[in-house]
Amino acid sequence: MALFGTVDAISKDDDAWLAQAVQLAVENVAAGGGPFGAIVVHDGEVVASGVNRVTHDLDPTAHAEVVAIRAACQALGTFSLAGSMLYSSCEPCPLCLAAALWSRVDRVVFAADRDDAARGGFDDRAFYDLFGSDRATWPTSVRNLRVEGCESPFDAWLARPDRTPY
């Protein structure tokens, strides 16, 4: 596994950053969007924010944290947010938590949780439950068919000395 940050100290600013994410979430509901907001903080400054834009953008991946991570990478000119922190109005769902891992942020701090989201009618908790269960029991079929040549992309990748890992 690539190295990523281990900063775990409570910041005196955590409450303020979370309040900002919650405020974004409330405002997004007023604007017709989903009740989620997030910000990315780097060196004590907000470098990007995001709100849930799934229905607005017709994009099921446009969750607040994903939107904020994408925007932060654009703002900083990098695909790695190592050294940054992600604050979210609600517990990141598996999509958003994995996005946070891939983005290499040092810390994730959230306010409400999957049970609050479930009260709002959202599947965050249901999807966490699926991730903790045997895929064979999922309502969505997830199946592996190991077709001939399926390893060839990785062979090609490893054969490129100029590849950019991430």
Active site residues: 65
Identify the residue among 44, 134, 137, 144 touching its own copies (CB under 8 A): 144
Q: Closest CB to its own copies among 44 and 123?
A: 123
Q: Does 117 bind its own copies (CB under 8 A)?
A: yes
Angle, vertex CA 18, rays to CA 16 and CA 19, nearest 5: 65
Q: Side chain identity at 146, as an amino acid letter?
A: R
Q: Does 149 bind its own copies (CB under 8 A)?
A: yes
Identify the residue among 44, 137, 140, 161 touching its own copies (CB under 8 A): 140
Site for its own copies in 86-105 (CB under 8 A): 89-95, 97-105
Site for its own copies in 15-44 (CB under 8 A): 15, 18-19, 22, 25-26, 28-30, 32, 34-37
Contacts of 99 (CB under 8 A, 6+ apart): 65, 66, 69, 92
Identify the residue among 12, 44, 153, 161 touching its own copies (CB under 8 A): 153
Q: How far is the CB of 21 from its own copies (least distance, A)?
A: 9
Q: Which helix (H) or strand (E) holds 54?
A: helix 54-57
* Total of chain residues touching its own copies, rule CB under 8 A: 101
Identify the residue among 38, 39, 40, 73 touching its own copies (CB under 8 A): 73
Say if residues 97 and 108 touch (Cβ distance below 8 Å). yes
What whole-number distance in Å separates Cα of residue 55 and Cα of residue 97? 21
Q: How far is the CB of 45 from its own copies (least distance, A)?
A: 19
Say if residues 40 and 14 touch (Cβ distance below 8 Å). no
Say if residues 92 and 111 touch (Cβ distance below 8 Å). no
Q: Which two tokens stand for residue 58?
A: 């017709």
